[in-house]
Amino acid sequence: MSLLSSPTRLYRVVARAEAVTWALLLTGMFLKYVTKTTELGVQVFGMVHGVVFIAYCLTTVLLFVDQRWSAGRLALGLLAAIPPFATIPFERYAERAGLLGEEWRLRTESPAGLLEKPTAWLLRRPLQGLVIGLLAVAGLTGVALVVGPPV
């Protein structure tokens, strides 16, 4: 079963990865600020967490469009990436509430609107969609690096 086979599978993997990278970053912060032994954990895990954070946010937007989430649910999904480990309870809530689905709606339904047309194109071409998604994560990570770390 591929990562992109269903909205539920993709969101579960990305939400859990985001939580794991939070744990790694917090470990790095402990080593830097509490034990004062090394900054390497923050440097490495901070970057990893930033990349996965962006992937989680893009995945949340993808689900918002494909599964027709409300703007409020989109906001909750995006806000769940900010506190440590909150993506896991949000992912569980989304699954229980039927927000994820086992099928990508726009793989079979006709897209309507400005957001659905490119989303349908990406979902109907999983390999190209994955490559474009990875390029989007890389591009947004580059922008974040230019802007600088959060204060």
At 150 the pLDDT is 65
pLDDT value of residue 110: 97
DSSP 107: G
Sequence-ordered list of residues with C-beta below 8 angstroms from that of 132, at least 6 positions apart, any chain: 122
Task: Please say if the pLDDT value at position 6 is more than 60.
Answer: yes
Among the listed residues 64, 68, 70, 79, the one whose alpha carbon sits nearest the alpha carbon of residue 11: 64
Is the pLDDT reported for residue 1 higher than 60? no
Cβ distance 132 to 123 under 8 Å?
no
pLDDT, tens digit (0-9, with 9 covering 90-100), for 16-43: 999 999 999 999 999 999 999 999 999 9
Measured between alpha carbons, how far is 132 from 138 in angstroms, rounded to an integer?
10
Unique residue bearing structure tokens 């770390």 = 149
49 CA to centre of own chain? 11
The reported pTM is 0.94
Determine the Cα–Cα distance for residues 24 and 131; give it in Å rounded to an integer: 26
The 10s digit of each residue's pLDDT in 71-123 is: 999 999 999 999 999 999 999 999 999 999 999 999 999 999 999 999 999 99
